[in-house]
């Protein structure tokens, strides 16, 4: 970088242009940034890293070093652009003159363009073929080719009657949305009620229902089933129903926070696909249990009245209140 800066200053001695001056100022800024910020920061960060000190000060100084490095990269990129402009490899953009700007150019040259009192005498005395005569002829042709400038049109302001009409349009636009508010309010109330009704059966009551089936009903049917194909069939049904219990509970655990927000009237994001999947999964689960497992359980437990009575007693004990004990 030092060699680049030195060669640049050496080549720019014989040139005095704005781009050269800008490049020199940027180069001085980049050098000062490197000597006063980048080099000290690198030395301090290296010493802290060797000592194993990676605290807030380390990362803060590292951020300063990154910002200073970005500044230097920006300055060098601008210098490279100006260098390409100076050597002609990167042509500068030239603005296309507009009719107004061309007309103003000739108007500023009042000592050369014809039509002004100051240059009339010079124009008359300039011999044909001279430089002044050529300039006057070019300006005359340019003025003749310029299209006339159209005067600015005044903006039509609304009349007082039109202002009243505009106000009516704004009020009618607001009333169209207001007319839909009662239906939306009814939908919001229904949504809160449905969410509250869903929280009850799928909350603690649903988990308790699954627990009773797995610990009491499934266990009783497995114990009373006859060994062989009947017991194997019962085991397959119990495994499937238990897996579906876990699937429903996991799906509900993901949806419950959003359902609680709906029940309390707060904004919520309920994925329609997840809701439909949970509903379809539980409908299929209930259909399997009602149409196949429960009739089979009633048949197996009905063979022995003691087995059915034991199941009833177990369920009664689960729901019976715990009496207070006194010592």
Q: Per residue in 227-259, is it b (16+ CB within 10 Å) or e — as a string?
A: eeeebeebeebbeebeebbeebeebbeebeebb
Does residue 18 belong to any structural domain of this protein? yes
Residue 23 pLDDT? 80
Does 214 lie in the same domain as 117? no
Residue 274 pLDDT? 92
For residue 205, what are the domain limits? 188-319
Answer with the residue of higher pLDDT: 244 or 30. 244
Does 37 lie in the same domain as 15? yes
Does 219 lie in the same domain as 300? yes
Does 307 lie in the same domain as 196? yes
Does 286 lie in the same domain as 210? yes
Does 312 lie in the same domain as 208? yes
Q: Residue 292 in contact with residue 237, Cβ under 8 Å? A: yes
Residue 112 pLDDT? 45
Asked whether the predicted pLDDT for residue 162 surpasses 80, the reply is: no
Does 228 lie in the same domain as 201? yes
Mean pLDDT score across all residues of the chain: 76
Does 315 lie in the same domain as 264? yes
Does 51 lie in the same domain as 105? no
Residue 124 pLDDT? 54
Does residue 171 belong to any structural domain of this protein? no
Does 216 lie in the same domain as 285? yes
Residue 110 pLDDT? 46
Pick the most confident of 18-22, 135-139, 214-218, 310-314: 214-218
Residue 198 pLDDT? 86
Does 209 lie in the same domain as 122? no
Does residue 175 belong to any structural domain of this protein? no
Pick the most confident of 49-58, 74-83, 242-251: 242-251
Does residue 156 belong to any structural domain of this protein? no
| Arithmetic mean of pLDDT, 271-291 | 91
Q: Per residue in 277-312, is it b (16+ CB within 10 Å) or e — as a string?
A: ebeeebeebeeebeeebeebbeebbeeeeebbebbe
State the residue for tokens 């107004």. Answer: 100
- What pTM does this model have? 0.43
* Number of domains the chain is built from: 3
Does 196 lie in the same domain as 299? yes
Window from 3-17, 83-97, 114-128 with minimum mean pLDDT? 114-128
């Amino acid at each position: 970088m030092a060699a680049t800066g030195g060669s640049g200053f050496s080549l720019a001695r014989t040139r005095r242009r704005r781009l050269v001056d800008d490049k020199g100022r940027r180069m001085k800024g980049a050098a000062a940034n490197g000597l006063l910020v980048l080099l000290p920061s690198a030395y301090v960060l290296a010493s802290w890293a060797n000592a194993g000190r990676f605290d807030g000060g380390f990362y803060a100084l590292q951020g300063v070093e990154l910002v200073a490095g970005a500044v230097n990269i920006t300055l060098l990129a601008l210098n490279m652009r100006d260098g390409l402009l100076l050597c002609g490899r990167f042509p500068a953009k030239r603005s296309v003159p507009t009719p107004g700007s061309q007309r103003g150019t000739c108007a500023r040259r009042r000592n050369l363009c014809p039509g002004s009192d100051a240059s009339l005498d010079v124009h008359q005395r300039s011999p044909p073929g001279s430089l002044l005569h050529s300039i006057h002829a070019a300006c005359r042709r340019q003025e003749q080719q310029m299209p006339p400038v159209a005067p600015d049109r005044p903006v039509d302001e609304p009349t007082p009657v039109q202002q009243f009409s505009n106000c009516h349009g704004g009020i009618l636009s607001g009333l169209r949305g207001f007319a839909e508010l009662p239906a939306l309010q009814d939908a919001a109330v229904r949504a809160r009620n449905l969410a509250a009704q869903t929280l009850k059966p799928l909350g603690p009551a649903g988990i308790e229902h699954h627990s009773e089936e797995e610990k009491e009903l499934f266990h009783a049917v497995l114990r009373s089933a006859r060994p062989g194909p009947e017991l194997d069939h019962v085991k397959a049904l119990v495994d499937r129903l238990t897996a579906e219990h876990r699937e429903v509970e996991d799906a509900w655990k993901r949806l419950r926070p959003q359902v609680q927000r709906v029940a309390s009237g707060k904004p919520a994001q309920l994925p329609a696909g997840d809701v439909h999947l949970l509903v379809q999964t539980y409908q299929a689960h209930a259909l399997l249990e009602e149409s196949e497992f429960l009739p089979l359980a009633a048949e197996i437990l009905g063979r022995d009245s003691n087995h059915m009575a034991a199941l009833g007693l177990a369920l009664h004990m689960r729901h019976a209140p715990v009496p207070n004990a006194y010592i």
